[in-house]
């Protein structure tokens, strides 16, 4: 998080900019912002792991979400491939209906 972002958060929290920018106060504010961001990342990472997803290699929440998006797509491709591998006596429409029905389970 940049210094400008930290200051903007302080302003949104109705903190006095003159007091925030005093070196000791600003250092405390930056430390607080860093701890809040770390806690948020931890919460997201724990949720991902509880749901059976890997957290990826990035430090930011957006990196974890990018990894989640990839994993969800990979799981969906595999599930669709399993449906397609099943012996079918019906039409491709029946396969499509089976794939769509997965979202309603």
Number of separate helices (H) and strands (E) present in the chain? 5, 0
What tens digit of pLDDT does each residue of 11-31 get? 998 988 888 888 788 888 999
Q: What is the pLDDT of residue 51?
A: 92
pTM of the entire structure?
A: 0.66
Per-residue pLDDT band at 89 (split at 50, 70, 90): low
Which of 13-27, 32-46, 76-90 is the most confident on average?
Answer: 32-46
Q: Which long-range contacts (CB under 8 A, 24 or more apart) does 58-62 make?
A: none
From the CB of residue 88, how many other CB atoms can be counted at a distance below 10 Å?
12
Mean of the per-residue pLDDT values of the chain = 86
């Amino acid at each position: 998080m940049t210094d400008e972002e930290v200051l903007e958060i302080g302003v949104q929290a109705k903190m006095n900019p003159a007091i925030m920018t005093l070196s000791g106060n600003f250092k405390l504010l930056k430390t607080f912002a860093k701890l809040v961001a770390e806690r948020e990342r931890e919460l997201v990472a724990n949720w991902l792991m509880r749901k059976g997803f890997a957290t990826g290699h990035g430090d930011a929440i957006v990196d974890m979400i990018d990894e989640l998006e990839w994993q969800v797509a990979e799981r969906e491709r595999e599930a669709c491939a399993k449906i397609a591998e099943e012996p079918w006596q019906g039409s491709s429409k029946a396969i499509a209906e089976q794939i769509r029905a997965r979202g309603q389970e």
